[in-house]
Amino acid sequence: MIAVITGDIVNSENYNSLDWMPILKNYLETLGASPLDWEVYRGDEFQIKLPVNIALESAIHLKAQIKKVKNLDVRVAIGIGSETYVGSSVSESNGEAYKRSGRIFNTLKASKLNLKIATGDKQHDKVLNLMFKLALDFMDDWSVVSAEIVTIVLNNPNVSQKEIAKQLGIKQSAVSQRYKRARLDLVLDMLDFYQELRKEIKE
Protein backbone atom coordinates (compact mmCIF):
# COMPACT_ATOMS: atom_id res chain seq x y z
CA MET A 1 0.00 0.00 0.00
CA ILE A 2 1.30 3.43 -0.95
CA ALA A 3 0.18 7.05 -0.95
CA VAL A 4 0.04 9.25 -4.03
CA ILE A 5 -0.20 13.03 -3.85
CA THR A 6 -1.52 14.92 -6.87
CA GLY A 7 -1.43 18.69 -6.62
CA ASP A 8 -0.92 22.08 -8.17
CA ILE A 9 0.22 25.56 -7.20
CA VAL A 10 -2.57 28.03 -6.44
CA ASN A 11 -2.08 31.51 -7.99
CA SER A 12 1.02 30.39 -9.91
CA GLU A 13 -0.16 32.35 -12.95
CA ASN A 14 0.55 35.59 -11.05
CA TYR A 15 4.18 34.68 -10.39
CA ASN A 16 7.32 33.86 -12.29
CA SER A 17 8.01 30.14 -11.90
CA LEU A 18 11.45 31.05 -10.51
CA ASP A 19 9.63 32.39 -7.44
CA TRP A 20 8.30 28.95 -6.47
CA MET A 21 9.69 26.16 -8.68
CA PRO A 22 13.05 25.87 -6.85
CA ILE A 23 11.18 25.68 -3.51
CA LEU A 24 8.88 22.98 -4.86
CA LYS A 25 11.67 20.90 -6.40
CA ASN A 26 13.97 21.27 -3.40
CA TYR A 27 11.25 19.87 -1.15
CA LEU A 28 10.27 17.10 -3.56
CA GLU A 29 13.91 16.01 -3.72
CA THR A 30 13.76 15.25 0.01
CA LEU A 31 10.99 12.71 -0.74
CA GLY A 32 12.71 10.74 -3.50
CA ALA A 33 14.08 10.82 -7.03
CA SER A 34 12.42 12.16 -10.17
CA PRO A 35 10.76 10.81 -12.28
CA LEU A 36 10.20 7.53 -10.40
CA ASP A 37 9.01 9.10 -7.10
CA TRP A 38 7.83 12.52 -8.23
CA GLU A 39 7.24 14.66 -11.30
CA VAL A 40 6.32 18.25 -12.09
CA TYR A 41 4.28 18.57 -15.27
CA ARG A 42 1.96 20.94 -17.17
CA GLY A 43 3.76 23.90 -15.66
CA ASP A 44 2.49 23.87 -12.09
CA GLU A 45 1.10 20.39 -11.42
CA PHE A 46 2.95 17.64 -9.60
CA GLN A 47 2.57 14.04 -8.51
CA ILE A 48 4.42 12.26 -5.72
CA LYS A 49 4.59 8.60 -4.66
CA LEU A 50 5.45 8.13 -0.99
CA PRO A 51 4.89 5.90 2.05
CA VAL A 52 1.46 6.16 3.70
CA ASN A 53 2.92 7.12 7.08
CA ILE A 54 4.42 10.39 5.80
CA ALA A 55 1.70 11.37 3.31
CA LEU A 56 -0.19 13.93 5.41
CA GLU A 57 2.90 15.44 6.99
CA SER A 58 4.46 15.80 3.53
CA ALA A 59 1.32 17.49 2.18
CA ILE A 60 1.27 19.98 5.06
CA HIS A 61 5.02 20.52 4.88
CA LEU A 62 4.75 21.23 1.15
CA LYS A 63 1.93 23.69 1.82
CA ALA A 64 4.06 25.53 4.38
CA GLN A 65 7.07 25.60 2.03
CA ILE A 66 5.04 27.15 -0.80
CA LYS A 67 3.23 29.59 1.50
CA LYS A 68 6.59 31.12 2.37
CA VAL A 69 5.96 32.97 -0.90
CA LYS A 70 3.19 35.48 -0.19
CA ASN A 71 -0.22 34.67 -1.75
CA LEU A 72 0.86 31.28 -3.08
CA ASP A 73 -0.67 28.00 -1.90
CA VAL A 74 -1.05 24.38 -2.98
CA ARG A 75 -4.05 22.21 -3.79
CA VAL A 76 -3.32 18.63 -2.74
CA ALA A 77 -5.18 15.32 -3.09
CA ILE A 78 -3.91 12.27 -1.21
CA GLY A 79 -4.84 8.83 -2.52
CA ILE A 80 -4.06 5.71 -0.50
CA GLY A 81 -4.18 2.21 -1.92
CA SER A 82 -2.40 -0.34 -4.04
CA GLU A 83 0.20 0.14 -6.75
CA THR A 84 -0.37 -2.45 -9.48
CA TYR A 85 2.03 -1.15 -12.13
CA VAL A 86 5.36 0.65 -11.76
CA GLY A 87 6.20 2.61 -14.90
CA SER A 88 9.37 4.47 -15.82
CA SER A 89 7.90 7.54 -14.12
CA VAL A 90 5.35 8.22 -11.40
CA SER A 91 2.85 9.55 -13.98
CA GLU A 92 3.05 6.24 -15.89
CA SER A 93 2.51 4.07 -12.80
CA ASN A 94 -0.93 2.79 -11.85
CA GLY A 95 -3.08 1.36 -9.08
CA GLU A 96 -5.85 2.37 -6.68
CA ALA A 97 -3.68 4.97 -4.95
CA TYR A 98 -3.13 6.79 -8.28
CA LYS A 99 -6.78 6.56 -9.30
CA ARG A 100 -8.05 7.82 -5.95
CA SER A 101 -5.58 10.69 -5.89
CA GLY A 102 -6.44 11.73 -9.46
CA ARG A 103 -10.20 11.49 -8.94
CA ILE A 104 -10.20 13.53 -5.77
CA PHE A 105 -7.79 16.10 -7.21
CA ASN A 106 -10.32 16.79 -9.97
CA THR A 107 -12.91 17.75 -7.32
CA LEU A 108 -10.75 20.18 -5.34
CA LYS A 109 -11.24 23.33 -7.40
CA ALA A 110 -15.03 22.99 -7.54
CA SER A 111 -15.28 22.19 -3.83
CA LYS A 112 -12.98 25.15 -3.01
CA LEU A 113 -10.80 22.94 -0.81
CA ASN A 114 -7.02 22.72 -0.84
CA LEU A 115 -6.63 19.31 0.82
CA LYS A 116 -8.60 16.06 0.59
CA ILE A 117 -7.91 12.35 0.99
CA ALA A 118 -9.33 9.12 -0.42
CA THR A 119 -8.42 5.90 1.40
CA GLY A 120 -10.99 3.47 0.06
CA ASP A 121 -12.77 3.53 3.45
CA LYS A 122 -15.75 5.91 3.37
CA GLN A 123 -15.89 6.36 7.14
CA HIS A 124 -12.18 7.15 7.44
CA ASP A 125 -12.47 9.55 4.49
CA LYS A 126 -15.40 11.32 6.13
CA VAL A 127 -13.54 11.80 9.42
CA LEU A 128 -10.24 12.84 7.86
CA ASN A 129 -11.75 15.21 5.30
CA LEU A 130 -13.87 16.93 7.95
CA MET A 131 -10.74 17.36 10.05
CA PHE A 132 -8.85 18.74 7.04
CA LYS A 133 -11.68 21.15 6.25
CA LEU A 134 -11.54 22.55 9.78
CA ALA A 135 -7.73 22.76 9.71
CA LEU A 136 -7.72 24.51 6.32
CA ASP A 137 -9.68 27.31 7.96
CA PHE A 138 -6.40 28.43 9.53
CA MET A 139 -3.78 26.71 7.34
CA ASP A 140 -5.02 28.50 4.20
CA ASP A 141 -4.48 31.76 6.09
CA TRP A 142 -0.91 31.08 7.18
CA SER A 143 1.23 34.16 6.71
CA VAL A 144 4.79 33.93 5.40
CA VAL A 145 5.98 34.06 9.03
CA SER A 146 3.60 31.28 10.11
CA ALA A 147 4.63 29.12 7.16
CA GLU A 148 8.27 29.60 8.12
CA ILE A 149 7.71 28.40 11.70
CA VAL A 150 5.74 25.37 10.47
CA THR A 151 8.56 24.32 8.13
CA ILE A 152 11.14 24.69 10.89
CA VAL A 153 9.15 22.49 13.29
CA LEU A 154 8.30 19.85 10.67
CA ASN A 155 11.95 19.71 9.62
CA ASN A 156 12.98 19.14 13.23
CA PRO A 157 10.07 18.09 15.50
CA ASN A 158 12.30 18.10 18.61
CA VAL A 159 13.54 21.66 18.14
CA SER A 160 12.89 23.91 21.16
CA GLN A 161 11.38 27.38 20.99
CA LYS A 162 14.63 28.69 22.45
CA GLU A 163 16.59 27.16 19.55
CA ILE A 164 14.13 28.59 17.02
CA ALA A 165 14.46 32.04 18.61
CA LYS A 166 18.23 31.84 18.24
CA GLN A 167 17.94 30.60 14.63
CA LEU A 168 15.59 33.43 13.63
CA GLY A 169 17.24 36.10 15.76
CA ILE A 170 14.03 36.91 17.65
CA LYS A 171 12.83 36.65 21.26
CA GLN A 172 11.44 33.38 22.58
CA SER A 173 8.15 35.15 23.35
CA ALA A 174 7.87 36.05 19.64
CA VAL A 175 8.39 32.38 18.73
CA SER A 176 5.61 31.43 21.15
CA GLN A 177 3.28 33.93 19.46
CA ARG A 178 4.13 32.51 16.03
CA TYR A 179 3.37 28.99 17.29
CA LYS A 180 -0.05 30.17 18.42
CA ARG A 181 -0.84 32.06 15.22
CA ALA A 182 0.13 29.06 13.08
CA ARG A 183 -1.97 26.78 15.36
CA LEU A 184 0.95 24.39 15.45
CA ASP A 185 -0.49 22.48 18.40
CA LEU A 186 -3.52 21.55 16.28
CA VAL A 187 -1.38 20.66 13.27
CA LEU A 188 0.71 18.26 15.37
CA ASP A 189 -2.43 16.78 16.99
CA MET A 190 -3.89 16.20 13.53
CA LEU A 191 -0.71 14.44 12.39
CA ASP A 192 -0.82 12.21 15.49
CA PHE A 193 -4.47 11.35 14.80
CA TYR A 194 -3.65 10.49 11.18
CA GLN A 195 -0.89 8.13 12.37
CA GLU A 196 -3.39 6.26 14.54
CA LEU A 197 -6.11 6.10 11.89
CA ARG A 198 -3.84 5.05 9.02
CA LYS A 199 -3.09 1.79 10.84
CA GLU A 200 -6.74 0.82 10.30
CA ILE A 201 -6.64 1.47 6.55
CA LYS A 202 -6.62 -1.72 4.51
CA GLU A 203 -6.21 -2.12 0.75
Write down the pLDDT at residue 43.
Answer: 87
To the nearest whole percent, how much of the chain has pLDDT over 70? Answer: 100
Mean pLDDT (the chain, rounded): 96
The set of residues, in sequence order, having a beta carbon less than 8 Å from that of 128 and lying 6+ positions away, is 117, 119, 194, 197
* Whole-angstrom distance, CA of residue 155 vs CA of residue 160: 12
Nearest to 144 by CA among 171, 168, 115, 173: 168
Please report, for the chain, the start and end positions of each structural domain, with discontinuous segments joined by +.
2-198
In tens, the pLDDT along 88-108 reads: 999 999 999 999 999 999 999
Write down the pLDDT at residue 202.
Answer: 78
In tens, the pLDDT along 103-147 reads: 999 999 999 999 999 999 999 999 999 999 999 999 999 999 999
Write down the pLDDT at residue 137.
Answer: 97
Write down the pLDDT at residue 8.
Answer: 97
Write down the pLDDT at residue 203.
Answer: 65
* Whole-angstrom distance, CA of residue 108 vs CA of residue 103: 9
Stated pTM of the model: 0.96
For the chain, list residues with pLDDT below 50: none
Strand partners, 81: 2
| Assigned CATH topology for domain 2-198 | Alpha-Beta Plaits (3.30.70)
Report strand pairing: 45-50 vs 2-10. Answer: antiparallel
Q: Give the 3-state secondary structure of 113-150.
A: CCEEEECCCHHHHHHHHHHHHHHHHHHCCCCHHHHHHH
Write down the pLDDT at residue 42.
Answer: 87
